[in-house]
Chains A and B, each alone.
Chain A
Amino acid sequence: MKTLVWVEHDNASVKDATLATVTAASQLGDVDLLVAGSGCAAVADEAAGIAGVGTVYLADDAAYENALAENVAPLVVQLMGDHDAFVAPATSNGKNIAPRVAALLDVVQVSEILSVVSADTFTRPIYAGNAIATVQAPAGKLVLTVRGTAFAKAEKTGGAGTVQAAAAGGDQGLSTFVGSEISKSERPELTSAKIIVSGGRALQNSENFHTLIEPLADKLGAGVGASRAAVDAGYVPNDYQVGQTGKIVAPEVYIAVGISGAIQHLAGMKDSKVIIAINKDEDAPIFQVADVGLVGDLFKIVPELTGKL
């Protein structure tokens, strides 16, 4: 089977989400990559170095700069003429583009796969991760999105892919990119951080988030996350949100501070290797999944912890 993998990038370098997707795709067959963007030749060169990669299709056109689904989907469909599967990471781009491709190909999509059972059978989470379904896709082309935390990352080097220009379909004239507000952060990216410190509603305000959660995270070299309650209350921007509707993370260590552990939040972090919970309510559901729990007032515990590390 020949697979085509969507390369997640920022027109400068390959994003980590791509690497796990390559691993998933390689379990299906030969892996080709698609780099669509603007002024992104360096990305294609970098992508060609990923272990196990065949052809890297480079579609370099202003129309692809911001990965608008309306422009990108026809390009993918055209390349699917000689590929059997389109595989994208379940990032906001992947989730935006893949279903549009699937519908244009008139095939179903399997979202956020956790494992490849066989070439047409996959597992995926449903009901906020409270159940795992094993599904078999019908014969014909496949469209998949991959949960990045469920697959090991492919090696970034050692590959010998060849870069080939892909005929660009250009701008479809349906949508235009206006602008973006990207949160700046020096900390590790949430979805690839080894340690995450997350705060919830109990922090009470944005200032406490800055004075309590962030110093602890910095001491540990950790990424910073949040529950929906903390995001809705405006303590932190929404791209910090971990959960069913936010980011799905599976770090080595997840430290939940003042988070009760609603099922929508657990859906985003319960595959973490070790979960540590700090909460004053000893009956909080978070303690049912936590490996290490400490019952107490976070306003006393967190500064003490940060101080002693």
Chain B
Amino acid sequence: MKVLVPVKRVIDYNVKPRVKMDGTGVDLANVKMSMNPFDEIAVEEAIRLREKGVATEIVAVSIGVQKCQETLRTALAMGADRAILVLTEDEAEPLAVAKILKGIVDEEQPGLVILGKQAIDDDSNQTGQMLAALTGRPQGTFASKVEVDGDSVKVTREVDGGLETVSLKAPAIVTTDLRLNEPRYASLPNIMKAKSKPLANKTPADYGVDTAPRLKTLKVEEPAKRQAGVKVGDVDELIGKLKVLGVVA
């Protein structure tokens, strides 16, 4: 089956984000950007499915500015076969992204779409579920294990109290959790090869989607700072503090 993997270009997860002084957002100028960590896991899972003979073709897609091409090249270097870049200057919201992805799903007819469970910039955790709703497909969110058996996709999900397993009727939508796999690094030869893999350029208009944000961001602030604490010298002092706090009698 064909597998579609949407990937997002986000601030690198090791970078501490700085809020702009004017409160309009987070300063992304000259900040290192990378593929969203959950999306790396999604690409890796697609590749593993191909290595098992389940996936026949892997299509990576990204939506955003021209530089998202770099993110797609990373996916291609990991092992995706081709890529689609949907160019927009807007910061597309999950609903708009889901609508564009629906257009691509209609066109490509993948048997499986694997997304990350959330992007580490907006922390929404919505796109996969929204895509599943729009396409009328079942969803296996927060997946820590994916097994494809003919027409059914068995997904083990990380839920609040532990794990649960659901069986989905393909075509299905899966979103990855951290423990699904450990993504591989792209080797230098594969990075070179990725440069010649096909990358199609599209626009949201090709799918009849308006990406103008519906949600209005009024301001972005730093969270309240914590008061500086104290260091204690030994366990007895620590217990003294715990007593003051009323944790122990």
Contacts and interface: CB of A to CB of B under 8 A. Distances in A.
A287 B229 contact: yes
B34 interface: no
Interface residues of B, number: 80
Contacts of B223: 125, 129-132, 270
A interface, how many residues as a size bin?
35 or more
B95 A274 contact: no
B161 A287 contact: no
B214 A135 contact: no
B164 A179 contact: yes
Given A126-B122, A238-B144, A294-B232, A132 B222 contact: yes
Contact of A73 (B118, B133, B232): B133
B168 A175 contact: yes
Interface stretch (A23-31, A49-57, A98-106, A206-214): A98-106
A136 B133 CA distance: 24
A138 B129 contact: no
B52 interface: no
Contacts of A100: 129-130, 132-133, 139
A107 B98 CA distance: 12
Given A99-B94, A103-B98, A126-B122, A275 B229 contact: yes
Interface string B106-128: 00000000000110111111111
Contact of A180 (B127, B142, B162, B227): B162
A290 B226 CA distance: 8
Interface in A42-77: 66, 68-70, 73
Taking chain A's interface residues, is the majority helix, strand, or loop, or is none over half, making it mixed?
A: mixed
- Listed residue (A112, A126, A270, A275) with the most chain B CB atoms within 10 angstroms of its CB: A126
Interface stretch (A32-40, A155-163, A300-308): A300-308
A121 B129 contact: no
A198 interface: no
Contacts of B50: none
Interface stretch (B58-66, B76-84, B152-160): B152-160
Taking chain B's interface residues, is the majority helix, strand, or loop, or is none over half, making it mixed?
A: mixed
Contacts, number: 248
A305 B133 contact: no
A109 B124 contact: yes
B139 A308 contact: no
A195 B215 contact: no
Contacts of A301: 235, 238
A292 B217 contact: no
Contact of A109 (B126, B167, B235, B247): B126
B13 interface: yes
Given A91-B160, A100-B129, A244 B220 contact: no
A111 B214 contact: no
Contact of A238 (B132, B164, B179): B179
- Listed residue (B154, B160, B164) with the most chain A CB atoms within 10 angstroms of its CB: B160
Contacts of B229: 275, 287, 289-293
B219 A134 contact: yes
Given A69-B129, A111-B126, A174-B138, A180 B215 contact: no
B26 interface: yes
B212 to A, nearest CB: 11
Interface string B212-249: 00111111111100110111111111110110010110
Contacts of B88: none
B124 A293 contact: no
Contacts of B126: 99, 102, 109, 111
A180 B132 contact: no
Contacts of B168: 174-175
Given A291-B230, A292-B229, A305-B235, A131 B19 contact: yes
A290 B241 CA distance: 13
Contacts of A305: 235, 238-239
B123 A125 contact: yes
Given A177-B166, A244-B120, A108 B133 contact: no
A177 B140 CA distance: 11
Contacts of B179: 231-232, 238
Contacts of A112: 123
A99 B130 contact: yes
A135 to B, nearest CB: 5
28 contacts: A96-B142, A99-B125, A100-B130, A104-B133, A107-B214, A109-B124, A111-B126, A121-B218, A130-B16, A131-B26, A131-B222, A132-B223, A134-B221, A136-B216, A174-B137, A176-B166, A176-B167, A178-B154, A180-B159, A232-B179, A238-B179, A239-B160, A270-B226, A274-B245, A276-B238, A276-B241, A287-B229, A289-B226
Interface of B: 11, 13, 16-17, 19, 26, 93-95, 98, 117-118, 120-134, 136-142, 144, 154, 157-169, 177-179, 214-223, 226-227, 229-239, 241-242, 245, 247-248
Given A132-B221, A175-B139, A296-B234, 5 more contacts: A95-B125, A138-B216, A253-B242, A274-B245, A287-B229
